[in-house]
Amino acid sequence: MSQHTLDELDRAILRQLEDDGRRAFREIARNLGSSEATVRARVKRLQDLNILRIVAFADPERLGDSQLALVFLTVDPARHQDVVDTLTEMPEITYVSTLLGRSDICVEVGSANNAELWAFLNQHVSAIEGVRTTETISILKVHKLRYGTPSKE
């Protein structure tokens, strides 16, 4: 994974967009004491480098008929990337990460109810070649959800 150096203006632009991804470049420029052209160029560069992606996020709790669960998987080391690739293609899975510790991979799964979650885990996740064990934890309530750069403040 390649790393890129961000300066204070890049970070400030990211913070502005994290607060409101639809904020106008003109407003960001005014807030930061920069020009709109500079902000536009910086955002384009950050997007081209795959540092920034602006997306819509729907709160599953407010949508109703949804249940979230975290699933921790232990996998065969030789199959790790294959398992990750398979998991990331599943539309029910909204988050995939590799871990150090007791588990190898963590995923977040959205489902309508326990029966749907059970069926998905047994028919799809456990059936992936290389998956040794799974541990599922139901999420009762999300108290904070923030994607973004770590705050230094």
Residue 34: which of 43, 46, 47 has the closest Cα? 43
Collapsing DSSP to helix, strand or coil, 148 comes out as coil
Reading the block at residue 60, the tokens are: 């599953």
CA 6, 41, 23, 141 dihedral sign is: negative
Mean pLDDT for 41-70 is 84
Mean pLDDT, range 66-77, rounded to an integer: 94
pLDDT of res. 19? 87
Domains assigned to the chain: 6-47 (1.10.10.10), 59-136 (3.30.70.920)
Residue 152 reports pLDDT greater than 60: no
Q: Supply the pTM of this predicted model.
A: 0.74
For the chain, what is the mean pLDDT?
Answer: 90
Residue 38 is encoded by which pair of tokens?
Answer: 């500079």
Rounded to an integer, the average pLDDT of 58-71 is 78
Q: Could you tell me if 45 and 13 are in contact, meaning their C-beta atoms sit under 8 angstroms apart? A: no
Cα 118 to Cα 12, 55, 81, 148: the distances in Å are 43, 29, 24, 32
Q: What is the pLDDT of residue 1?
A: 44
Q: What pLDDT is attached to residue 64?
A: 67
Given pLDDT bands bounded at 50, 70 and 90, which one contains residue 67? confident
Q: Which two tokens stand for residue 78?
A: 């030789």
Instruction: Tell me how crowded residue 135 is: count the other CB atoms within 10 A of its CB.
Output: 12
Average pLDDT, integer, range 110-138 = 94
pLDDT confidence of residue 2: 57
The pLDDT of residue 151 = 58
Check pLDDT > 70 for residue 131: yes
Place of tokens 């996998």: 75
